[in-house]
Structure 1
């Protein structure tokens, strides 16, 4: 486990658990709400506060897709779900290539020829991720490079869990929302109106969500009650999609800036689906910034 510190903030990083975060603390407040998901077997029961999503985001239907004239089949990686989810980088240990007081760089190299990688992702890639504490918050940089000899389709994102309490409200602007089936695959597209209009904020209490939004403008605000600081999420324009996964009974909401919709690789008819094709040696990435507002009262304990 690594620990970064700066300006009243601390950050714990778990390189062996897919470069996940343990906790981000600001002035004594635990900003993340770590979750242990037993269905994600390769997280080995570890409670994580956030983790990267690469080289695709959310689900690929039945683990099947075609690209470059070839058919590919991926092995499911979440128990009870036939659709592989969130790529494969979260399933592996990452290497720490740089560590300073407030900044760390981690890398992961995937080679599909390795026996251990069979049924994962069929292309070689390299990821460089940076966690940096700055005076105004946490900066997360993700860059993926095509290490293969052929083109490959990619997507990336970040999956942080935050506290969802009585009175928590979420604000963001998007154009469209996808309604999903029982396994989280998109089935119907709707305009962000009424209950799906978060521009002025929506209460999260009692609201179960597992939806992808299109046309994300890169800004989200989680308003917190009591002494928890409000949280601002700012993402580069490459993150034109947003996934919101809210489980109020478990006390968390995941606010996930991502570059593509769920099952994007199998939805060529949808404009703006977000598949990015990299030529050999080409890279793609962006930065997500998390900022905590000053709390209204000091943290207890």
Structure 2
């Protein structure tokens, strides 16, 4: 039988989901925004911590809410009212939302012959500077032998509507990054300024095989499909979503065997340019799911 367990490691609380054959494992950090710290599928290491690449800098596998990427100078206007978020990106912009360092609580565990699952929750009851809205966010991780599914559900528990986009920031590891390729369909790309704030959307069709080689990426694409493939010499994974409108951020940290493949529902500075921006009314909820499947 598969099983799930909760244990303490280095003063941080983790949930470990593990398949019965011991070759598939997911480790979730409750005190770091409910992020996926480690993922092994059928003996293939897909996500792994890198020594010296601190989470405070990498945001590795963090859930991005209420905004993905950056908000220019932390400032935006919503319903004719001005707001200002704290700037945590070199004091220039607000970066990667507000929950990446929050502590989640376990609310449900499921054990099944074919999968194990955990649902964790964080509730914001305070009116945070720059985003004075109350909400709850639930993350459900479901681990199969060759796949993990992540479901994110946001609920507005306030009396007023609020704006939002969602994203996920996983880094995938391979010892042959320069020989790996991506496959996704896109005819448009985001042009950034020097501070990685959206300037405009430009027409640029991606190649059928997007070669990584030795190039450095910090690029955003508007996707035509809900699927992204990452193909390495050792394994192949497929990232899918249930969303109709999808954006993809790619980032390669220098001299590390990692690539961030970030599915998002909106882009950099979405609170201002409105691209991908959604509004959640009081007592309403919104869900998005992302799946990572090992193809071989």
Band the TM-score falls in, shorter-chain normalisation = 0.7 to 0.9
Match of 1:299 in 2: none
Matched, 1:208 2:221: no
Which residue, out of 270, 291, 295, partners 2:293?
291
1:282 aligns with 2:284: yes
Mapped partners of 1:81, 1:212: distance in 2: 22
3-state SS of paired residue (1:250): coil
- Is 1:251 the counterpart of 2:257? The answer is yes
CA contact (8 A) 1:22 1:48 kept: no
Offset, 1:183: 1.8
Per the alignment, in what secondary structure is the counterpart of residue 280 of structure 1?
A: coil
- Aligned equivalent of 1:297: none
Unmatched 5+ residue regions in structure 2?
Answer: 1-13
Q: SS at the partner of 2:199?
A: strand
The verdict on how the C-alpha distance between 1:64 and 1:23 changes in structure 2, with shifts beyond 3 A counting, is same
Q: What is the match of residue 85 of structure 2?
A: 74
1:144 to 154, 160, 183: 154
Q: CA 1:173–1:11 in 2, change beyond 3 Å: closer, same or farther?
A: same
Contact 1:219/1:233 (<8 A) preserved: yes
Q: Which residue of 2 aligns with 1:106?
A: 120
How big is the shift at 1:151?
1.0
- Residue number in structure 2 paired with 1:10: 25
Structure 1 unaligned segments of length 5 or more: list them: 295-301
TM-score (norm 2): 0.86
C-alpha separation in 1, matches of 2:25 and 2:59: 15
Count residues with an aligned counterpart. Answer: 274
User: What is the DSSP-based 3-state SS (H/G/I as helix, E as strand, rest coil) of the residue aligned with 1:182?
Assistant: coil
- CA displacement, residues 68-123 of structure 1 (integer Å, 9 cap, x when unaligned): 12110000123x2411111111121111111244211011111233xxx4x35221
Q: Counterpart of 1:131 in 2: which secondary structure?
A: strand
TM-score by length of 1: 0.85
Q: Using the alignment, how far apart are the partners of 1:202 and 1:58 within structure 2?
A: 22
Q: How does 1:115-264 map to 2 (within 5 A)?
A: 117=128, 119=129, 121-164=131-174, 165-193=177-205, 197-198=206-207, 200-225=208-233, 228-247=234-253, 249-264=255-270
Q: CA deviation at 1:34?
A: 2.8
Instruction: Report the CA distance shift for 1:252/1:105 in structure 2 as closer, same or farther (over 3 A).
Output: same
For 1:92 and 1:120, the matched residues in 2 are separated by 17
Runs of at least 4 residues of structure 1 off by over 6 A?
Answer: none
Q: Deviation string for 1:158-189 (max 9, x for gaps)?
A: 11101252301111012310122222112242
3-state DSSP of counterpart to 2:292? strand
What's the RMSD between the two structures over aligned residues?
Answer: 2.0
SS of 1:106 mapped into structure 2: strand
Task: Flag the structure with higher strand content.
Answer: 2
Conserved 8 A contact 2:241-2:289: yes
* Mapped partners of 1:131, 1:246: distance in 2: 25
Structure-2 change in CA distance of 1:44 and 1:187 (3 Å): closer
Instruction: Determine whether 1:91 maps to 2:93.
Output: no
